[in-house]
Amino acid sequence: MNPIARQFLRDANAKAGDRQHRATVQRNIGLYDAAVARGKARFADWSNGRARLAQIKWDVVNHLDQYLEQFERQVLANGGQVHWAETDEQARQVIVGIARKHGVRKVVKAKSMTTEEIHLVPALEAAGIRTLETDLGEYICQLRGELPYHIVTPVMHLSRQDVSRTFTEKLGTPPTDSAEELTGIARRQLRQEFLTAGMGITGANFAIAETGQIALTENEGNIRLCFSLPRIHVAIVGIEKLVPRVEDLALFWPMLATSGTGQAVTGTNSLVGGPRCDGEPDGPEEFHVILLDNGRTRLLADVEQRDALHCIRCGACLNACPVYRTIGGHAYRTTYMGPIGAVITPHLRGLNDWAHLPYASSLCGACSAVCPVNIPVHRHLLHNRRSATSQKAGGLQAVFTVWRWFMQAAPRYRLGGWLARWFSRRGWAAPPWTDTRELPIPPAQSFRDWWKNQ
């Protein structure tokens, strides 16, 4: 087993036995479940909506070259600048380069998993540029020195009391049990930073090909400040984030919000179309879009699994996943955790190191059932498993070769079955099972024996 897989097992084991963790996460996801059920009830036909989103994303992913070029032309026409980054390294260089060119000393940052993916904050800090997370959850993560626990709700694993303790410890504020006061503390800390930052960095929930705009979804208003107050706005956008038309948002916005949080739409939705024009009172002087590949074209080349690029990062499959609910978001040690992470990480970062993730699933299919863009997530877990065994079958190859031999003829199968029952009657134990569970008590005769003797 490779060291990454071993680490995963250690982390997963620790969390699986942590009842306090399980209680907090079950409670928080329970609130989410109730809100989403109410949210879905507002739709006349949720499944038809899923089919429509899947169709739009299918069109995008299968004509990605055309939509990307259309998007680039529109951004340029709006006065923005476009940078293509094939790797995370290139993306970091471009962003640090823009900051240096303008003498930026401080960056305010929106919540964006893509920036996590390219490890942007450490790169900016290393270049001497102070970088502040302005999303409340991400701000708490930053104070605690933790990575996000969830792609939508970064501190889902924390209670109000945990947040209060973090603030007291890091900011010296008095303990409080009020969520409002905790938000107020963060707001007071961050407000001045927006006014004095030289650059704002955001991700994008959607990039609209026909207009060259990016769409940003949030609940706190911090993203709007990130892209409107500083002189420079940099948006980092995964190439799969495109949608063809503005009108597509009429369905994407509510379905993203409902799947993500149960809201009808999120509190603030912005369309950003470029730098400040003559006569406009606000907005940045420069608008940069970085189009990031970082392994996505490898997934695009895989005809069988490219629909995993439909993902709009709503987080629904994480919340639905009984494995995620048990081991939590940190055990995965990936930017994208949970079921969709187990599908795409082996493509983005290599099957050799990440094959354990698709196996860490009971294949219950809850992920596929909730996906708003109809990705057959658990089927892709099976595809990844098949790819993993054809690349490196390991010791299990022998097991399944022998197993097949037994199963290919009824007399051999009967012998195998008889042996299995004989061994288990003699207290044969399989420790991974029997450490926590009893084995079934083997019967004296099989069904086929009964059938013959009746």
Residues that bind other proteins (CB under 8 A): 9, 12-13, 16-17, 22, 26, 322-323, 325-327, 359-366, 368-369, 379, 382, 385-390, 393, 396-397, 400-401, 403-404, 406-410, 413, 417, 420-421, 430, 432-433, 435-440, 442-443, 445-452
Radius of gyration of the chain (CA): 25
Give every CB contact of residue 397 below 8 A, 6+ residues apart in sequence. Answer: 389
Judged by beta carbon, residue 16 or residue 143, the one nearer other proteins is 16
Nearer to other proteins, 112 or 305 (CB): 305
User: From the CB of 363, what's the least distance to other proteins, in Å?
Assistant: 6
Give the residue with the Cβ less far from other proteins, 22 or 119.
22
Nearer to other proteins, 119 or 414 (CB): 414
Q: How far is the CB of 276 from other proteins (least distance, A)?
A: 50
Q: Which two tokens stand for residue 97?
A: 């380069």
Measured from the CB atom, the residue of 144 and 333 that comes closer to other proteins is: 333
How far apart, in whole angstroms, are the C-alpha atoms of residue 4 and residue 355?
10
The residues with which 292 forms a beta bridge, in sequence order, are: 85, 238
3-state DSSP assignment of residue 210? coil
Closest by CA to 267, choosing from 202, 313, 218, is 218
Q: CA–CA separation, 293 vs 20, rounded Å?
A: 39
Cβ(272)–Cβ(214) below 8 Å: yes
**Please, what's the b/e burial string for 252-270 (b: 16 or more CB within 10 A of its CB; e: otherwise)?**
bbbbbbbbbbbbeebeebb
Q: Is the dihedral of CA 75, 81, 86, 88 positive or negative?
A: negative
CB-side exposure of 340: number of CA atoms within 13 Å? 27
CB of 140 to other proteins, least distance (A): 26
Distance of closest approach, residue 48 Cβ to other proteins, in angstroms: 17
Question: Between residues 69 and 304, which has the closer beta carbon with respect to other proteins?
Answer: 304
54 burial type by CB count under 10 A (0-12 exposed, 13-18 middle, 19+ buried): middle
For residue 29, the 8-state DSSP code is H
Pinpoint the alpha helices (H) of 229-313. 249-261, 296-300
Task: Give the span between the Cα atoms of 228 and 194, in whole angstroms.
Answer: 10
Instruction: For other proteins, give the closer residue by CB, 15 or 241.
Output: 15
Report in angstroms how near the CB of residue 422 gets to other proteins at its nearest: 11
281 vs 395 by CB, closer to other proteins: 395
CB of 118 or CB of 321, closer to other proteins: 321
The 3-state DSSP class for residue 262 equals coil
How open is the CA angle 72-76-78, to the nearest 5 degrees?
A: 120
